[in-house]
Amino acid sequence: MERYEILKDIGSGNFGVAKLVRDKRTGELYAVKYIKRGPKIDEHVQREIMNHRSLKHPNIIKFKEVLLTPTHLAIVMEYAAGGELFERICNAGRFGEDEARFFFQQLISGVSYCHAMKICHRDLKLENTLLDGSSTPRLKICDFGYSKAMNLSPKSTVGTPAYIAPEVLSKKEYDGKIADVWSCGVTLYVMLVGAYPFEDPQDPRNFRKTIQRILSVHYSIPDYVRLSKDCRHLLSRIFVADPEK
């Protein structure tokens, strides 16, 4: 890690901490995820490294290298100066259809590339979509800790409750690609409405209710949100209980 100068903390999670660093030789900025050596370095970390390092696409955070320090494993990757898409929506309340389309197209571009590379992300959400610092922000997908190679049919329920597809909750084998598309649909809905599609507005923290609403595909678009017919149709094609359809 000698070649990097640590500038500041930029986040933390179950994994450990993320820091902003500068390459002393080139002056370039990177984000480094520090994971404590020992039991924290589990199959999710291995999977994240194996799957992420194979992906090279403008809408996916660039993987640079993995380094070992005496106490930590450090994953060095591209720094997205624009922060999370989640923050941008929180600040705006919600997006108009044009802005939502701009980001959704980039999200789908990155996800379809992952699928073409035979990798399902399985934890797509606004917090895992970052923005670069440019004036017309480029969306960048990050965090491949739950990702899975497609030759393995996933059975485990992973992901974040508000974004999980019905078939993932059913405990049977499911198609990770179609489940990713469902999560993209949730992201699109949140961008347009400023709320999660399957949460009960009166009781948003009740996960059991959220799960029941996901399983019955119970969502609606509030009257105050004006959406084109095409956009409503797209959401209705994504939010389908039977993944075969």
pLDDT at 205: 84
> pLDDT tens, position by position, for the chain (245 residues)?
789 999 999 988 767 899 999 999 999 999 999 999 998 888 888 888 999 999 999 999 999 999 999 999 999 999 999 999 999 999 999 999 999 999 999 999 999 999 999 999 988 999 899 999 999 999 999 988 878 776 654 444 445 667 877 766 666 667 778 889 999 999 999 999 999 999 988 888 888 898 899 989 999 999 999 999 999 999 999 999 877 76
pLDDT at 241: 84
User: With contact defined as beta carbons under 8 Å apart, do 179 and 166 qualify?
Assistant: no
Read off the tokens for 191. Answer: 């961008």
Task: Show the domains of the chain with their CATH numbers.
Answer: 4-78 (3.30.200.20), 85-238 (1.10.510.10)
3-state secondary structure 71-83: CEEEEEEECCCCC
Rg of the chain taking only CA atoms, in angstroms: 18
pLDDT at 43: 82
Given the residues 9, 42, 123, 180, the one annotated as active site: 123
pLDDT at 56: 97
List 76's β-bridge partners, or say none.
32, 65
User: With contact defined as beta carbons under 8 Å apart, do 28 and 22 qualify?
Assistant: yes
33 annotated among ligand-binding-site residues: yes
pLDDT at 207: 85
Read off the tokens for 183. Answer: 């999560």
List 72's β-bridge partners, or say none.
36
Read off the tokens for 180. Answer: 């990713």
pLDDT at 23: 97
Match 């599609």 to its residue by tokens: 197
User: With contact defined as beta carbons under 8 Å apart, do 26 and 99 qualify?
Assistant: no
pLDDT at 237: 95
Q: Examine the residue annotation and report whether 123 is marked as an active-site residue of this protein.
A: yes
Buried b (16+ CB within 10 A) or exposed e, 98-112: eebbebbebbbebbb
How far is 201 from 114, CA to CA, in rounded Å?
A: 33
